[in-house]
């Protein structure tokens, strides 16, 4: 028989205002096995924990029930308290009478009744609890960073600097991500390439970093400290080790009509290409969709001009297997498609562009060599209209757009407006905004400079429609402050398109068993206190894959993710979770159902000899759980038709006892 | 807000199915409206005035009859507020109201011509005999 102590927490007034804590501790005193019951204002405080420790010693408790907040909040706290008093930490049960009781009920009688029932269930469970000892698993001291933008680059550099090997997997032929496409960066207007490319070089030269460019994560198995990852390296038809990046092939390739994705299709590249001059690795890649040699075997010019003999038309996709202790997701973002926003005429006029396209238009390495020229006729624009919040802050039920604020648009539009006025003071610049959101160091000052020093016309209101007419864009918009409808003949319209997570994020989340929100942003383990960790142990988040972010924020988060990874890799062994599945071999009928449902591949089958009646033996096929791999999800215990699978700490008997206690 | 205003506000939101609280005051409805310059109160003002209960001026405004019900604002509102449906509801309240008619049923025959649809004539008699 257990000797159980019950500790009811008031949580200040959080619980005590809706639950009669005295009544709860009195009622639970009468439950079987309970030898001690009390209540206290803050059980998690030092004084509260001492009450528990003293009671364990004084009443020789073998199990305790804490009626308090969610176990997600303080289960670990109370387990440590119990362990400090010499009690096995798995003899602690939490009855959640805050989130699931006091916070959802309004009147004291209902709250108290429910709190007593939840307490009874926990007592019933502790009566069947047994001490559990967690196992230990080794840690592979190598990290994987998925995505080679500024988030991935910074995370990799920080981990590598701490002395751990890091691999970066980047699906494009070069690292650099969106930041490599930007012109200047707010709020200081330093050039993106000038601050990014040195970091890219650092990555390339770091002895602890390997770059798998033009590669994707194919498969992920295992668990924290011990991930088995398959990386698919796409064939680039160029031997990376031999290519010197001289660029001779990219000049001689006769296939000149390939839309250049680096410039967002605003100019063309060749079928063999290096995305941009500072690419890392600086290696050519053949685009198999356009290469004449790969498509119909006629050409071979690049192979002829390559002095290094690096061209290899027979190259195949390669699969690399590697073990990692930690995985950082840094898959970034993309602007949303403007296809559904017909009112802005994006698909009707070349002179209606997105902000990212505008970045390329003002960039010295862009399609116009940094001269601001209209994409349609190459003329200098005199009136430019910027439209904010295109597809951001939309109704959840709307057919187009996103519900969230994309966060970066206010600032980059202020930057664009300022850059235009700086180079071409004669240009009239209008910015249509709903709100100007500039929380950030030196951000509002930056926006005010655009208005006060540069004379950008900020108009509170929204553009209703854009109609191309001749060589102008007729912009109709509202000016809410003047209570007027404005009609502007613009030469260029720039849409601040909402941003969304990269399309590769959702399938990746499935492979990692990491959770996402409805917008496909990765969910953090705690929105305030664990912002760079995914709820899946060993998976960390860096940059815009977790939510819209600017560069300063991305870099801080990248460093935070790196520090979490370093903390993990610095350990030699990880304490496992003892609440894992085990099979009762006498009941197992070897049907393999559990093996099929196990998401971690923790279950195998083996033939085992059993003694049968009449001194005979029989060989039977039975399930066996690998304790290092099992994560205790419980899928097998539900699937097992004969009830042979059980979860330690959450056995069928324990859960049924809880249900019985609630229904009694 | 007075109980009368509150009643009118609830009546309008119920009739139109529009929730003016969803408006984020971006002004895209008024930016897109083809009849803007004809109106004393513009689409975004309809939404904000119904939201604040300031409905009486709308009922007495000619703006009610300038809205073409083209639904451009409904189509383009990022928050799905559907201002044209709200204008329509205000119009219905004005039309259904007893008294305050700007003419009587006796004035109608003199205004008839061949182009006026039968339905409009019947509606006019129904309205102006109230």
- For A494-553, write each residue's pLDDT tens digit: 999 999 999 999 999 999 989 999 999 999 988 999 999 998 889 999 999 999 999 999
Task: Please tell me if residue A461 touches chain B, with a CB cutoff of 8 Å.
Answer: yes
Separation between Cα atoms, residue B117 and residue A200, nearest integer Å? 74
The number of residues in chain A equals 664
**Whether the Cβ atoms of residue A520 and residue A501 lie closer than 8 Å to each other:** yes
Does B3-97 carry CATH code 1.10.1060.10? yes
| For residues A646-656, average pLDDT | 94
CB A358 within 8 A of CB A496: no
Q: What is the DSSP string of A582-641?
A: EE-TTT-----HHHHH-TT--EEEEEEEEE-STT-EEEEEEEEE-TTT-----HHHHH-T
Is A478 close to B27, i.e. CB distance below 8 A?
yes
Measure the CA–CA gap between A489 and A507, rounded to whole angstroms: 44
Sign of the torsion formed by the C-alpha atoms of A201, A203, A206 and A211 = negative
A599 burial (CB, 10 Å; 0-12 / 13-18 / 19+) is exposed
Q: What letter would DSSP give residue A303?
A: H
- Any alpha helices (H) in chain B, and if so which ranges? 3-16, 28-32, 43-52, 56-59, 72-76, 83-96, 108-111, 118-128
B48 touching A, CB under 8 A?
no
For residue A501 the two structure tokens come to 């997570």
Chain B: give the shortest CA distance to residue A390, in Å: 9
Burial A195-222 (b: 16+ CB within 10 A, else e): ebbebbebbeebebbbbbbbbbbbebeb
B42 contact A CB<8A? yes
Q: Which of the four pLDDT bands, split at 50, 70 and 90, describes residue A358?
A: very high
Q: How far is CA A311 from CA A173, A237, A250, A270, in A?
A: 15, 6, 12, 15
What value does the mean pLDDT of chain A take? 95
In angstroms, the separation between the Cα of residue B10 and the nearest Cα of chain A is 22
- 470-529 of A, contacting B, C-beta below 8 A: 476-480, 483, 485
Q: Is the Cβ–Cβ distance between A164 and A326 less than 8 Å?
A: no
Class of domain A333-500: alpha beta
pLDDT tens per residue across span A59-95? 999 999 999 999 988 999 999 999 999 999 999 999 9
**Does residue A203 register a pLDDT over 90?**
yes
What residues of chain A, 322 to 381, have a C-beta less than 8 Å from chain B? 343
Q: Does B46 touch chain A (CB under 8 A)?
A: no
Report CA-CA distances (Å) from A266 to A171, A259, A279, A617, B23: 22, 7, 19, 77, 37
Average pLDDT over residues A444-451: 97
Nearest CA in chain A to B22: A395
pLDDT at A269 over 80: yes
Report the candidate in A156, A131, A136, A135 with the shortest Cα–Cα distance to residue A146. A156
Q: Is the pLDDT of residue A600 over 90?
A: no
Query: In chain B, which residue's Cα lies nearest the Cα of A488?
Result: B31
Q: What is the mean pLDDT of residues A111-139?
A: 95
Give bridge partners of residue A134 from the DSSP assignment: none
- Chosen for mutation from A395, A436, A462 (greatest number of chain B CBs closer than 10 Å) is A462
Inform me whether the pLDDT recorded for A395 exceeds 80.
yes
In A, minimum Cα distance to B80 occurs at A395
CA-based angle A312:A314:A315, to the nearest 5? 75
Count Cβ–Cβ pairs < 8 Å, chain A vs chain B.
73
CB < 8 Å to B24, chain A:
393, 434
| Residue A545 in tokens | 């894959």
pLDDT at B127: 77
Residue in chain B nearest A462 by alpha carbon:
B28
Do B27 and A389 count as a contact with CB atoms less than 8 A apart?
Answer: no
Instruction: Please tell me the pTM assigned to this model.
Output: 0.85
Inter-chain residue contact B31 with A464, CB threshold 8 Å: yes
Say whether pLDDT at A213 is over 80: yes
Same fold, A235-316 and A333-500: no
Sort out which chain A residues have CB atoms less than 8 A from B27's CB and list them.
434, 460-462, 477-480
> What pLDDT is stored for residue B10 in this prediction?
94
pLDDT digits (tens, 9 = 90+) for A20-54: 999 999 999 999 999 999 999 999 999 999 999 99
Instruction: Report d(CA A605, CA A615) in Å as an integer.
Output: 25
More confident residue, A598 or A570: A570
Instruction: Give the pLDDT of residue B114.
Output: 84
CA A322 to chain centre: 21
Q: Which of the four pLDDT bands, split at 50, 70 and 90, describes residue A629?
A: confident
C-alpha to C-alpha distance for B12 and A547, rounded to whole angstroms: 38
pLDDT, one tens digit per residue, over A369-380 is 999 999 999 999
**φ, ψ for residue A395, nearest 5 deg:** -65, 145
Q: Residues 87..126 of B with a Cβ closer than 8 Å to A: which? A: none
Residue of B nearest to A486 (CA): B31
pLDDT of residue B128: 81
Q: Which residues pair with A67 in a beta bridge?
A: A8, A95
Helix axes A355-362, A409-423, angle to 10 degrees: 30
Do B24 and A434 count as a contact with CB atoms less than 8 A apart? yes
Interface contact A483-B42, CB threshold 8 A: yes
Take residue A172 and report the two structure tokens written for it: 């494009």
Mean pLDDT of A399-416: 96
Asked if A389 and B42 come within 8 Å (Cβ–Cβ), the reply is no
Q: Where are the domains of chain A?
A: 4-128, 136-178+191-232+318-332+505-572, 235-316, 333-500, 581-648
Whether pLDDT at A185 is above 80: yes
> Which CATH number is associated with domain A235-316?
3.30.70.20
The burial of A248, by beta-carbon neighbours within 10 Å (0-12 exposed, 13-18 middle, 19 or more buried), is given as middle
Q: Residue A570: which residues within 8 A CB-CB, separation 6 or more?
A: none
Q: Which CATH architecture has domain A581-648?
A: 2-Layer Sandwich (3.30)
Cα maximum dimension of chain B: 47
Query: Of B22, B24, B30, which has the smallest distance from its Cβ to A485's Cβ?
Result: B30
β-pair type (A333-335, A484-490): unpaired
A409/chain B closest Cα distance in angstroms: 16
- Distances in Å between the Cα of A451 and the Cα atoms of A447, A583, B107 are 7, 70, 57
CA-nearest of A374, A537, A329 to A468 is A374
pLDDT digits (tens, 9 = 90+) for A469-480: 999 999 999 999
Partner-chain contact A395 B72, CB within 8 Å: no
Is the C-alpha dihedral spanning A176, A181, A184, A188 positive or negative?
Answer: negative
- A409-423 vs A443-452: helix axis angle to the nearest 10? 40
Query: What does R_g of chain B's alpha carbons equal in angstroms?
Result: 16
B44 touches chain A (CB under 8 A): yes
How confident is the model at residue A576, as a pLDDT? 83
B86 min Cα distance to partner chain A (Å) = 18
> In chain B, which residues have pLDDT < 70?
99-100
CB contact (8 A) between residue A389 and residue B78: yes
d(CA A36, CA A126): 14
Residues 6+ apart with CB under 8 A from A389: A405, A406, A409, A433, A434, A462, A496, A498, B26, B78
Angle at A71 (CA atoms; ends A24, A223), nearest 5 degrees: 160
Alpha carbons A503 and A508: distance in angstroms, whole number: 9
Q: Does domain A4-128 have CATH number 2.30.29?
A: no
What does the buried/exposed string (b/e) look like for A452-487 if buried means 16 or more CB atoms within 10 Å of the residue's CB? eebebbbbbbbbbbbebeeebbebbbbbbeeebbbe
pLDDT tens per residue across span A278-329:
999 999 999 999 999 999 999 999 999 999 999 999 999 999 999 999 999 9
Please tell me the predicted confidence (pLDDT) of residue A26.
96
Q: Which CATH class is domain A136-178+191-232+318-332+505-572?
A: alpha beta
- Which residues in chain B have Cβ-Cβ distances shorter than 8 Å to A479? 27
Q: Is A253:A301 a contact under the CB 8 Å cutoff?
A: yes
B-interface mutation test, from A479, A485, A487, most B Cβ less than 10 A away: A485
pLDDT at res. A291: 96
Residue A40 structure tokens = 């206290």
């Amino acid at each position: 028989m257990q000797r159980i102590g019950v500790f009811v927490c008031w949580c200040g007034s959080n619980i005590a205002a809706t639950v009669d804590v005295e009544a709860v501790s009195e009622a639970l005193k009468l439950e079987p096995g309970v030898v001690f019951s009390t209540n206290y204002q803050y059980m998690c405080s030092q004084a509260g924990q001492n009450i528990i420790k003293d009671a364990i010693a004084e009443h020789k408790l073998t199990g305790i029930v804490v009626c308090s907040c969610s176990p997600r909040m303080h289960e670990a706290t109370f387990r440590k308290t119990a362990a400090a008093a010499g009690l096995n930490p798995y003899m602690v049960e939490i009855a959640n009478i805050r989130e699931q009781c006091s916070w959802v009920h309004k009147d004291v009688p209902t709250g108290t009744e429910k709190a007593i029932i939840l307490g009874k269930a926990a007592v019933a469970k502790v009566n069947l609890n047994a001490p559990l000892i967690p196992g230990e698993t080794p840690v592979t001291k190598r990290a994987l960073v998925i995505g080679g933008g500024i988030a991935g680059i910074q995370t990799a550099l920080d981990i590598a600097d701490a002395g751990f090997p890091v691999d970066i997997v980047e699906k494009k032929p070069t690292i650099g991500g969106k930041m490599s496409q930007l012109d200047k960066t707010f709020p200081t207007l330093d050039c993106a390439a000038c601050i990014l490319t040195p970091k890219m070089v650092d990555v390339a030269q770091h002895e602890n970093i390997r770059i798998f460019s033009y590669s994707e994560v194919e498969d992920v198995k295992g668990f924290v400290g011990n991930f088995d990852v398959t990386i698919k390296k796409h064939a680039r038809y160029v031997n990376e080790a031999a290519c010197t990046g001289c660029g001779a092939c990219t000049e001689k390739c006769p296939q000149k009509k390939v839309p250049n994705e680096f410039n967002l299709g605003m100019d063309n590249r060749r079928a063999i290409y290096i995305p941009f001059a500072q690419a890392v690795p600086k290696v050519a890649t053949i685009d198999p969709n356009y290469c004449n040699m790969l498509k119909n075997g006629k050409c071979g010019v690049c192979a002829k001009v390559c002095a290094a003999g690096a061209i290899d038309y027979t190259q195949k996709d390669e699969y690399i297997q590697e073990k990692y202790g930690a995985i950082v997701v840094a898959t970034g973002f993309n602007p949303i498609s403007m296809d559904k926003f017909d009112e802005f005429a994006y698909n009707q006029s070349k002179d209606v562009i997105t902000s990212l396209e505008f970045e390329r238009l003002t960039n010295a390495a862009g399609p116009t060599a940094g001269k601001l020229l209209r994409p349609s006729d190459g003329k200098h624009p005199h009136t430019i209209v910027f439209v904010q919040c295109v597809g951001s802050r939309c109704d959840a039920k709307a057919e187009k757009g996103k519900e969230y604020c994309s966060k970066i648009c206010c600032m980059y539009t202020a930057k664009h407006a300022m850059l235009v006025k700086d180079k071409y003071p004669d240009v009239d610049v209008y910015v249509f905004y709903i709100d100007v959101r500039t929380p950030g160091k030196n951000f509002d000052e930056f926006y005010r400079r655009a208005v006060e020093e540069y004379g950008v016309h900020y108009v509170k209101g929204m553009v209703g429609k854009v109609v191309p007419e001749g060589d102008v864009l007729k912009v109709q918009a509202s000016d809410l402050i003047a209570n007027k409808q404005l009609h502007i003949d613009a030469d260029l319209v720039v849409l601040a398109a909402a941003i969304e997570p990269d399309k590769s994020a959702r399938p990746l989340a499935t492979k990692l068993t990491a959770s996402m929100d409805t917008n496909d942003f990765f969910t953090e383990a705690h929105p305030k206190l664990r912002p760079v960790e995914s709820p899946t142990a060993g998976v960390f988040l860096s940059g815009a894959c977790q939510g819209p972010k600017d560069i300063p924020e991305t870099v801080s988060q990248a460093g935070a993710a790196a520090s979490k990874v370093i903390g993990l890799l610095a350990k030699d062994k990880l304490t496992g979770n003892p609440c894992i599945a085990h099979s009762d071999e006498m009941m197992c009928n070897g049907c393999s159902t559990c093996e099929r449902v196990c998401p971690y591949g923790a279950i195998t089958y083996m033939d085992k000899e059993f003694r049968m009646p009449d001194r005979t033996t029989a060989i039977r096929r039975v399930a066996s759980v690998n304790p290092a791999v099992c994560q205790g999800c419980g899928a097998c215990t539900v699937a097992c038709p004969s009830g042979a699978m059980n979860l330690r700490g959450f056995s069928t008997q324990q859960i049924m006892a809880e249900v019985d206690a609630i229904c009694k | 807000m007075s109980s009368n205003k509150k009643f009118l506000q609830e009546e309008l939101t119920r009739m139109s199915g529009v929730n003016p609280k969803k408006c984020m005051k971006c002004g895209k409805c008024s930016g897109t409206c083809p009849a803007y310059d004809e109106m004393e109160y513009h689409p975004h003002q309809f939404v904000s005035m119904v939201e604040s209960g300031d409905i009486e001026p709308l009922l007495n405004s000619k703006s009610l009859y300038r809205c073409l019900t083209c639904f451009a604002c409904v189509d383009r509102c990022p928050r799905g507020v559907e201002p044209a449906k709200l204008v329509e509801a205000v119009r219905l309240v004005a039309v259904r109201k007893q008294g305050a008619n700007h003419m009587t049923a006796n004035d109608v025959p003199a205004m008839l011509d061949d182009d006026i649809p039968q339905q409009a004539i019947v509606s006019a008699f129904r309205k102006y005999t109230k």
